A and B are shown apart, each in its own frame.
Chain A
């Protein structure tokens, strides 16, 4: 097999001073320069986003990059996409690279859908003739035929995202670098996108894929890379890597939600605490459970999305506060509470991811925000056996009559 990507001892250092106390103006810079003359620069404000990372990806392989927020996954993709330079080490890339770190990069609100397809295509590295050839396909995929000549500023956010993804999905590079772009759009569209990603993989293209969606990772990828605090700590079959990741999520969770640094989003509103509440000591199959999420600030249209994952990293259930019901009510404090009258989950370990969003954009996102174990409990008088299926239902059997 041929090697498509070969990464050798890749490291990237950021100097925190430059990023955090930004020296935006000449005056700040002069002040800082004066200070550093007097005092030797220290190494403590250096931050290694990646450290000595080495791996290979063969042609046609689909590799998932897994790690917590801030682990260095995006930095890795940015270096491989040549957006930023490594501090040391090198990477060889063989083949035409297409990188998708965001959908809709370079979209201009004043331009029409048609114009933006060409512009965005060119930005993603497509030739004009290539875009023209795929134009109809892109329009059909995005389902925006009627609005082709409308400026995209009049598009709904759903249409905008569909169009943006459609252009990106028709990029045909030999090597595709994808960063968490599937976390957009409605469910039907997400499914379509995942399908498209699967096709790309089947066509024998090399894909490096970053996502927090462990289920998608396990369906699409064959191999996984686990990155933690800038180090590549594991490299192997995707199932094992996801498992390892989930184990580590749990064992390394000491900090409270408010103090965690491995979060992403705009940060105007933050998750302060996540609690799993039940009447009894412990959560039992079929019990009422509450997930209480305290936040520090309310924003207009803020909604909370809560996802339950099982110990295999598979997505089990999603709860989205933006989908309202007439029986919802409002709390007086800064909190989102999701009440599940009967938790019909199989006994086992689970974790939840919590996201705060405004209009589809992340304000805050925490992985492994809380962990809980569901304990066994007979359901309608019936004991449970562990078949390792994620859900259980109360049920009644009628069986053929006979000796009992």
Chain B
């Protein structure tokens, strides 16, 4: 028997298992290696969601439509919330679209680890892909809602504009925000099931703190910086600007405050990843 040197294992040749010390690397490479599994988890989420319900895709259409109708009736017609010259239904829907995506993604991401407890205790894979799949699978619903928005814009004869090319960027910001907060909440949820009660409440309060039913112009100028601390402000206002920019009386391209939003989102994402990684090793033991 010859002792084989195992001192310098590479990823292809082997792996060293030992306790991680300090802040481990973020393991982004491992996530990339497991991209196929990520794809399958997203596919499973989507497939099961549409399979289990009697109405299937109809839910995805009904939910935002009904919220929009209620908002239009309450805030557009009765309370007369200013919509900057755009028809209120489109004004509300343009913000509801990314908001609904964000809310459901955040919710899914934060419960994702608990929901995959059976996987986590039986198989190895970078745990990061679990909340990530929660955020990605919401994109399908988003796409369906987006079609409704298209129809709505046709009905109101709203023109296409070049600013719409910015939409993917704002969507990415919503995804990043959902993932960042989702990572924190998912990891905390493994330890404290309180998170399950916290998230719906958080989402509700958060919605009122975000210009969804109202526009940011409703807030006095000197307090508007407060809104910028909420990255979702940048997203919903960004969507409105990109979709209806030319029609909104006081719409402005994303400015300085917007960069604050981006910085906050990135901070949350990075800290979320670090926190997630540092607690990941105990998931299988505590879950």
User: Which residues of A come within 8 Å of B, CB atoms?
Assistant: 1-3, 6, 14, 18-19, 23-27, 29, 58, 78-95, 97, 99, 101-102, 105-106, 108, 110-111, 115, 118-119, 122-125, 127-128
Contacts and interface: CB of A to CB of B under 8 A. Distances in A.
B284 A84 contact: yes
A85 B19 contact: yes
Contact of A115 (B18, B47, B119, B282): B47
A6 B17 CA distance: 10
B191 interface: yes
A83 B194 contact: no
B232 to A, nearest CB: 25
Given A92-B9, A105-B118, A122 B40 contact: yes
A225 to B, nearest CB: 17
Contacts of B120: 83
B14 A95 contact: yes
Contacts of A93: 14-17
A56 to B, nearest CB: 9
Nearest to B43: A119
B119 to A, nearest CB: 5
Given A18-B285, A18-B286, 8 more contacts: A23-B191, A78-B284, A82-B124, A87-B19, A90-B18, A92-B9, A94-B6, A95-B14
A95 B13 CA distance: 6
A79 B17 contact: yes
A44 to B, nearest CB: 19
A84 B16 CA distance: 13
A280 to B, nearest CB: 49
A94 B12 CA distance: 9
Query: Chain A CB within 10 Å — which of B15, B20, B284 has the most?
Result: B15
A83 B36 contact: no
A-B pairs with lowest CB-CB distance, top 5: A94-B14, A90-B18, A82-B124, A122-B40, A85-B281
Query: Chain A CB within 10 Å — which of B1, B17, B37, B193 has the most?
Result: B17
Given A3-B6, A14-B285, A122-B36, A83 B124 contact: yes
Nearest to B118: A105
Nearest to B280: A85
B262 to A, nearest CB: 31
B2 interface: yes
5 contacts: A90-B17, A92-B14, A105-B118, A119-B44, A122-B37
A123 B121 CA distance: 12
Interface string B192-221: 111000000000000000000000000000
Contacts of B36: 122, 127-128
A81 B193 contact: no
B51 interface: yes
Nearest to B6: A92
A101 B120 CA distance: 11
Contacts of A122: 36-37, 39-40
B44 A111 contact: yes
A46 to B, nearest CB: 13
Contacts of A24: 192-193
B121 A83 contact: yes
Contacts of B284: 78, 83-84
B44 A29 contact: no
A92 B37 contact: no
